A and B are shown apart, each in its own frame.
Chain A
Amino acid sequence: MNNLVERFRPLFYPRGIVITGVSAHPGKFGFASLHNLLCHGYEGEIFPVNRDGAEVLDRPTCRDVAEIPSGRADLAFLCTPAVANIENLLACARIGVRAAFVVSGGYSEAGEEGAAAERELVKVARDLGILLAGPNGQGLVSTAVKMCAQIVPPYPPPGRISAVSQSGNILSSYMNYGQLTGIGFSKGVSAGNGASLGLGDYIEYFAEDPDTAVGLAYLEGLRDGRDFVQRAMACTRRKPLVLLKGGVTSRGQKAASSHTGSLASNDRIFSGICRQAGIARAETVEEAYEVAATFATQPLPRGNRVVILTAAGGWGVLCADACVRAGLDLIALPEDLRARIDAVLPARWSRNNPVDMAGGETRETIPELLDCIAAHEGVDAVIYLGLGIQAAQAHVMKSSPYYPGHGLDRIADFHERQDRRYAEAATAASARHAKPVLCATELVYTDRAYGNSAPLAVAESGRLCYPSAHRAVNALAHLCAYAAYRRARENE
């Protein structure tokens, strides 16, 4: 068994969890973390510790860690004040705990005295052989064991993204997007002060973790930049890593006597290093999430030759512009592919890329087109625009005073079924030909209003439905850049 995977097992796959500082007060961290663990169905045993031994959430608690039977808990989730934590760690070690997540604040974020306490915490954990996460962190989730050990709510659906963040709320944002889109997480961890385990450690672990397909990180500062780059590269050699960096503009430029120095802003250097390390760098939280979700759900393209399939003109035109700007190759349609499309669409179609169906599609057209375009050896990726318009029409009909008469019920059902088929056909073509096929429509936002069947079906098929062509293009460009990075280094 891999050492790193084994080392992190008690943190992300604990058989049992000790929670210290459990409180009967629903406003306290020690209450919220027990509550979140219980209500998301954590599969292992939970051992809440409460100073008074009070019943909390209808469960008995222990007064002391020492009361917990030995060998049943791997992880300690410490919500006690900082002063109590050394004692707690010692007691936890005695009952066989091998990892600790420290929620408590009052450490290095709180001045020199706190920093000294943090150093002591690290030392004691190291001496006890306890893997130490935090302190001052928000918690962690691991969907394989249904563990939501967090003082805050978002618990994402299971999936293959694993996230680590130097900010608890950015981790929450990532996981909120997971809840909204359905593209889920394997693990999420708030690094807190990163006293012992830093961003690089988690990323190195994600690289080895068989349940992780893509790493997602939020970074503000590094103790050792070169070490981080080495670990990030260890990840990108095997799987993609998406990174959002905060604080790139704050430090400004160093005074420098050389020309090179005066041109060497932190951001320019960092951006070059991300390219060197094959890191997909995002500018915003939603971009970071979408790119990670794309890596987690789409196959890697073999090149950057793109065909756009669109139900109507404007979408295709703007998407084509976006592709060109992103450096994707909007290929001229190969003659044999054009001939195949000719056989399916009436003569008024665009006859080039974007493939604009110009309203010429019939019952079977879109699934056939998606498949034959994705199948072509000269095509590496497909972007499909305009799904959901039939289902949108169905929604209008179903809300109409004429409904269900005049055949509206039948046609509305037909429209909804068709759009669902298109979405499913996109995922099927992608899977069959092992190429990315990305669907984009702003109708994804209707999920709060009426739930357009097309984006719903995209989500149900396990893919992300992009809210705009531009966002699909951007995600695809990241896939292509990473694939090119890997190809260029295949023989190293």
Chain B
Amino acid sequence: MSRTLSEYDSKQLLREYGVATVSEHLAADADAAVARATRIGFPAVLKLCGAAIAHKTERDLVRLGLADAAAVRAAATELLARRRPEDGDAQLLVQAMVRGRRELIVGLVRDAQFGPCVMLGMGGILAEAMRDVVFRMAPLTLQDAREMLAEIKAAHLLDAFRGEPAVDRDALANILVAVGRIGVERETVASLDINPLIVAGATAIAVDALVEIADA
């Protein structure tokens, strides 16, 4: 049997491994959400977050670009109303709004033959259609990870692009190495998606993540 970690807990694991994630906080109610958003700064993002909620977009549980406290309060009330009994102890997740034109997807799978394998690909709405992805077997050396960056077809998008600077490749490569370490060191992690990993300025930031745990 497998279960998923909540979005917050998934990124908590990533943070433990040094992966840069969006700054985010859990909030129990609308007041707490407004207080958090005010501290993080606007525009803010609000999501409903819980271990049993894996597909937030499909259930319309994401509110982007909330410009002020009033917008956060309205969104919080709306999202809390969409809770279902099977969602368990779902809470609000308040995040900074990360802007960047370039979206990547990074993941971990356990292959029957080769064990934990790390994936890098171009993300965004066309990700699955383009299938521009590359894999390496964990653990990865930094050189392995650098070669993955060069190997995706859209590799040139990691250079300076439409007024945005070139991606910090070593930082991005270190994320791949870290995901590989998770695969090797955390045997219960069945799979992991960082989707999207948004390139903001030169920095790749894990904005959403989903960790699947295989219980023994």
Contact = CB atoms under 8 A, between A and B. Distances in A.
Interface string B132-155: 011111001101100110010000
Interface stretch (B34-42, B82-90, B109-117): B109-117
Contact of B135 (A258, A264, A489): A264
Contact of A259 (B113, B135, B148, B195): B195
A226 B117 CA distance: 11
B131 interface: yes
A225 B113 contact: yes
A258 B210 contact: yes
Q: For the complex, would chain B's binding face be called helix, strand, loop or mixed by DSSP majority?
A: strand
Contact of B105 (A259, A268, A270): A259
Nearest to B148: A272
Given A226-B115, A269-B114, A260 B137 contact: no
A276 B144 contact: yes
Contact of A273 (B128, B135, B151, B193): B135
Contacts of B148: 272
Given A260-B191, A272-B136, A225 B210 contact: no
Interface string A249-292: 00000001111111110101111110110000000000000000
A269 B127 contact: no
B128 A263 contact: yes
A226 B136 CA distance: 12
Given A225-B111, A226-B115, A264-B119, A492 B141 contact: yes
A270 B191 CA distance: 18
A262 B212 CA distance: 14
Given A222-B113, A257-B191, A258-B109, A273 B137 contact: yes
A261 B137 contact: no
Interface string A412-456: 000000000000000000000000000000000000000000000
Interface centre among B113, B117, B191, by most chain A C-beta atoms within 10 angstroms, is B113
B51 interface: no
Contacts of B133: 263, 268
A333 interface: no
A170 interface: no
A260 B111 contact: no
User: Number of contact residues on A: which range applies?
Assistant: 20 to 34
Nearest to B145: A276
Nearest to B111: A269
A488 interface: yes
Nearest to A484: B147
Interface string A224-250: 011001000000000000000000000
A263 B108 CA distance: 11
B79 to A, nearest CB: 23
B105 A276 contact: no
Given A226-B114, A226-B115, A268-B135, A489 B143 contact: yes
A263 B114 contact: no
Contacts, number: 93
B113 to A, nearest CB: 3
A341 B166 CA distance: 41
Interface string B177-216: 0000000000000011101000000000000001010000
B50 interface: no
A260 B147 contact: no
A258 B127 CA distance: 13
Nearest to A263: B133
Interface centre among A229, A257, A259, A489, by most chain B C-beta atoms within 10 angstroms, is A259
Contacts of A268: 133-135
Interface string A379-397: 0000000000000000000
A276 B151 CA distance: 11
A241 to B, nearest CB: 16
Nearest to B146: A488
Given A225-B114, A269-B114, A259 B127 contact: yes
B68 to A, nearest CB: 33
Contacts of B127: 259, 263
Nearest to A269: B135
A225 B193 CA distance: 23
Interface centre among B111, B121, B135, B141, by most chain A C-beta atoms within 10 angstroms, is B135
Contacts of B119: 260, 263-264
B151 A259 contact: no
A229 B137 CA distance: 9
A276 to B, nearest CB: 5
A272 B137 CA distance: 8
Contacts of B192: 258, 260
Given A258-B107, A263-B133, A275 B147 contact: yes
Interface of B: 2, 54, 105, 107-109, 111, 113-115, 117, 119, 121, 127-128, 131, 133-137, 140-141, 143-144, 147-148, 151, 191-193, 195, 210, 212
12 contacts: A226-B115, A226-B137, A229-B114, A257-B191, A260-B191, A263-B131, A264-B117, A268-B133, A269-B114, A272-B134, A272-B136, A275-B136
List of 4 A-B pairs having minimum Cβ-Cβ separation, nearest first? A260-B107, A225-B113, A272-B135, A225-B114
Given A259-B128, A263-B131, A273-B114, 13 more contacts: A259-B105, A259-B193, A260-B105, A261-B191, A262-B128, A263-B119, A264-B109, A264-B117, A264-B135, A268-B134, A269-B111, A276-B140, A276-B147
